[in-house]
Copies of this chain bind each other. A is one copy, B any other.
């Protein structure tokens, strides 16, 4: 049984990116609103990795009393600066904002998260060379361990924009048999137990139990929540690992890889620009 070392795998991805960024003046902008502690820690990690790659990291933080219109105008100003090659809006934003409208202000060529709906549409029609970070993370892990999703049964828990919806659509493109499971699914354990590959992106610690796992399954966990003050994934890791052939821990699994995938996309966008 393999426990994926996300930190180490992320380092390999980043090592590949270093030569590219070493010779190009690059800035990445992150836009955030308010002071969500989880967001702060994610931003800190992105800032750290930018430093490793020699990328200038610009963090624009707005107080949560700014208006949707004001924020849209500010994003417009930021994306227009030539030296800024990528722009990220750190989600979630406070509820009052029209999130997709704001995300659409990031032009496709500066959108490493693929959150503009045009970027997302291009991904879904299979026309875009880069894929959203969560899908890229699944791809990195499967490729690393020589697993081809074609013809495999893949159960995806959750259908959120960032993880479930994205990963389910990517697996569909890769010709997997995909089961999309949500909170209304009856007997999810029976469905999940058919899966060769199980992916969870719900944010509910303990959701994925041992009895849901087919012996030898691959388990990739994007969930992120607190339980008894500790960061936990969706997967009941200690028990589930005994039945799986490969599993990601949380923390230290998909988290570092998501950040690495973001910077990989930034490179690929910049490369595309040169074409």
Contact present for B175 and A184 (CB under 8 Å): yes
- Return the chain B residue nearest A191 by Cβ: B177
Give Cα A119–Cα B176 distance, bound, in whole angstroms: 26
Main SS of the interface on chain A?
A: mixed
A152 closest partner in B (C-beta): B184
In the assembled complex, the CB of A174 is this many whole angstroms from the nearest CB of chain B, namely 10
Q: Are A165 and B172 in contact (CB under 8 A)?
A: yes
Chain B residue, CB-CB nearest to A178: B180
A residues 148-205 near B (Cβ < 8 Å) are 150-151, 153, 159, 161, 165, 168-169, 172-173, 175-186, 191, 194
Q: How far is the CA of A122 from the CA of B125 in the complex (A)?
A: 13
At the interface, yes or no: A100 with Cβ under 8 Å from chain B?
Answer: yes
Copies of this protein chain in the complex: 2
The reply to whether the CB of A94 lies closer than 8 angstroms to some CB of chain B is no
| Interface residue? A117 (CB, 8 A) | yes
A51 within 8 A of B: no
Is the CB of A11 closer than 8 A to any CB of chain B? no
Interface size on A (CB < 8 Å)? Answer: 35
Is A118 at the interface (CB under 8 A from chain B)? yes
In the complex, what's the smallest C-beta–C-beta distance from A108 to chain B, in angstroms? 10
Q: Is A120 an interface residue (CB 8 A)?
A: yes
Given A127-B100, A168-B172, A178-B179, A151 and B118 touching (CB < 8 A)? Answer: no
Which of A116, A176, A178 has the largest count of B CB atoms less than 10 A from its CB? A178
Whether A252 is near chain B, meaning CB under 8 Å from some CB there, is no
Please tell me if A17 contacts chain B, counting CB pairs below 8 Å. no
> Chain A, 102-127, contact with B by CB distance < 8 Å: what is the 0/1 string?
00000000000000111111101101
The distance from the CB of A159 to the nearest CB of chain B, in whole angstroms, is 5
How far apart are the CA atoms of A195 and B104 in the complex, in Å?
A: 37
Subset of 14 A-B contacts with CB under 8 Å: A116-B121, A117-B118, A117-B121, A119-B121, A120-B121, A121-B124, A124-B124, A151-B186, A168-B180, A177-B179, A177-B180, A177-B191, A179-B179, A191-B194
Query: Ordered nearest first, which 4 A-B pairs have the shortest CB separation?
Result: A121-B121, A117-B121, A151-B184, A178-B180
